[in-house]
Structure 1
Amino acid sequence: MDLARFPRRRYTEAPTPIEHLPRLSAALGGPDVYVKRDDLLGLASGGNKTRKLEFLVADALAQGADALITTGAVQSNHCRLTLAAAVKEGVACHLVLEERVPGSYSEDASGNNLLYRLLGADSMTVVPAGTDLAGAMEEVAERVRSAGGTPYVIPGGGSNARGALGYAACAAEILGQTFDSGLALDHVVCASGSGGTHAGLVAGFHAGSAQIPLTGISVRAERTAQEEKLHALAGGVLELAGLPGDLPREKVVVRDEYVGPGYSLPTDEMTEAIQLFARTEGILLDPVYTGKAAAGLVGMIRQGELAAGEKVLFVHTGGAPALYAYPDAALKVVS
């Protein structure tokens, strides 16, 4: 997959490391677990959205935009990183925050909400769950145009075909790193939310002819709907890159049994996974995305789906700033 023809801003100087987690592996008594440290990507506190923004912000600047507009939940890592990219590029940033859980927005909240204020968002519009977010962003864009500005609208999570190129590039990066180190992976596990990360990895592995099974742990959507959405998005990534978009349907695998009662709502499995990673390897996960994805990883190991002797890569997509908005969930005692 030749991505050099796409404009790209580089917010991280080097590939993020792949680390072996021997203490976590021993605690789980299953495969050797490795982690791709995309929590160490550039911009404010890092995370997977940085890879997507490298392509999206470059496209915005190429079009002469002077304002970025995007959307996410009230503790959105994507909104934090889009705002950080806007600050770095010297352009405005307007956020549309969806209160997916009623009563969850607080102007004085910690976590990412604190960082929205610290980084200086030009505006924050809070809307209830179920709002037409594309329409809400277009209203903000029209206000920017009326004031003489040039807006660029980025979908939630940066998860369109152009944004997902960031994780097609990450797939190539993983394949290069594992080749250089002689690490033959048997499985990859990632969070599956807005879909750009999961779909980009699917497209990138497919383009690289890698036969590594990839499982996305849903943090919100039902499995069938999520798989259909991601299959279409991954096909769109391949077509944008000039490759045939006839991606086999079975390449897209989603598990939805770790969502719990809903998006961003804590589960005991998530809390246990957060504590396991923290207390065995000193790695911080977040309750919304990586905590539930890690719960899926742990569940697959305990159920024997990922066996002893295998080598499994967990893609750490960041999100630690949101951890501070959920102290009770992180520190809860679970049996």
Structure 2
Amino acid sequence: MQNDQGYRVFFIVPPEVHLLDVSGPIHVFYEATEYGADIESVFISINNDHSIKSSAGIGLNNLKPYSNHQLNQNDFIFIPGLDARLIFDEEFQKSMNPFFEWLQIQRNNGAKICSVCTGAYLLAFAGVMDDMECTTHWKYTDDFRKRFPKSKLHKDRLFVKDGSIYSSAGISSGIDLALYIIEELYGPFFATKIAKEIVVFLRRTEDDPQLSVFLQYRNHIENRIHKVQDHLAQHLSDKQKIDDLAVLVHMSPRNLTRLFKKTTGITIGEYHDKLRIERAMQLLANGQKVDAVSNLCGLSSNQLRSLLKKHSDILPSTLS
């Protein structure tokens, strides 16, 4: 996809923008230019104001009017998330109609359009998401489906590409999407260098779920179970016995087993397997050999293969 003309990335900055949604991808492309990529970043206002206030209260200035720019097939548009209060405000939606028309024109001109988090709503209001596969933040997927039935929403995807339309789940996934685009433009070796520069060593792909299992099953206030979950996650390479876990939290093995299932909805063994599967998938995707991965997951090679085969339905196509 590389060409002699270089690329432009237009970062739309709406009012009440979520800072990390926009600053994360910006930094990825900045580092890419530091490594020699021919990419120009342009910062434009969604309503032609030269300055806006972010959702965190920090102001962003020196923005250029969107209406001054006509894009082509070498251009990307990044639309970050913004405060939900604005998104669902009908007056705000109406005020955005000129921008939505401009967005459709740029799409017809061949520009690639990317959303981060709730930025997908702005694409959908503009009609860009009609009949397109997409995603958004997990908290808003049910609402998104109801509002935009023509879209083909994926509920648990990190990011989705459908033709010239890219969408990501939110916050850090905007970084993953930016790295994915860098890989498309300049190849995997170059993208890996950028990921290393910004200390994103375990790059995630579009096959990965929005929420890591290391973050799931933690929506409770039972400190003893949190302590067991922390221990399992931090000692994946060690053999774990229920008796030792019980001693860790001053409970009997039987009571711990019951409380864990009651609190999380799954057994300790199931949770432990989920941790191992996700860790193994990350390591294998990054080129680690099966023997090394199995050791890091506290399993033999045969045990790891059996575990992955048992759960092949959730593996990315590259690993299944």
Q: TM-score, normalised by structure 1?
A: 0.26
Q: TM-score, normalised by structure 2?
A: 0.26
- Of structures 1 and 2, the one scoring higher in RCO (CA 8 A, sep 6+) is 1
In our comparison, the structure showing a higher alpha carbon Rg is: 2
